Amino acid sequence: MSSDDVMGVLTRHIEAAFQRPVDDLRQVAAASGRVHPATEVLHWYGLTAEAQTVVDRAENALLAAIGPVPGELTPSQMAIAHQVNTAVAARDGRAMVLRHLLDPNARHVWGGERPQSRIASRASTALPPRPPASVGRATGR
């Protein structure tokens, strides 16, 4: 699944839950003088986007190491493949937290209100900068 697919699915879930585009939601949450209900969701969305960037870089490194004719992996290629697996696991874990936060039936797990005030002062609603599309991208993915 490409990074656009993963982040696109999560973006659609957020937009459906809050009934507004993510960019608008970021602006509203940032401008809010109090803790906005989307603050925690946007925080985990940003963490997931960062993790997706790591996945993309690791996949590109693996594709570059394998070359145009794949074969049995060398130990160094296998190490890069493990990095890809680790990056995907981190991204998927963050995405699972995000999906949980968006689940309207998950409130019972938190034992009441979600701990938004705990992260409100340190959560960023901004996405990390996107690397240029031409950097390290392999064709044909």
- The gap from C-alpha 25 to its chain's centroid, in whole angstroms, comes to 17
The CA distance from 120 to 124, in Å, is 8
- 38 located within any domain: yes
Domain that holds residue 63: 3-120
Q: How many domains does the chain have?
A: 1
What are 105-120's pLDDT values in tens digits? 875 454 445 555 444 4
pLDDT over 90 at 32, yes or no: no
CA distances from 81 to 63, 73, 89, 132, 134 (A): 10, 9, 12, 23, 22
Residue 79 lies in a domain: yes
pLDDT in tens, 52-61: 999 999 999 9
Residue 127 lies in a domain: no
Cβ-based neighbours of 29, under 8 Å, separated by 6 or more: 36, 38, 39, 42, 125
141 assigned to some structural domain: no
pLDDT at 141: 42
Residue 138 has pLDDT above 60, yes or no: no
**Contact at 8 Å (CB) between 140 and 63?**
no
Structural domain contains residue 37: yes
Which residues make Cβ contacts (< 8 Å) with residue 94, sequence separation at least 6? 44, 47, 48, 51
Q: Which residues have CB under 8 Å from 95's CB, separation 6+?
A: 6, 10, 48
| In-domain check, residue 104 | yes
Q: Return the percentage of the chain with pLDDT > 90, whole number.
A: 53
Residue 138 lies in a domain: no
Tell me, what DSSP letter sits at residue 37? T
Residues 6+ apart with CB under 8 A from 44: 94, 97, 98, 101
134 within a domain of the structure (yes/no): no
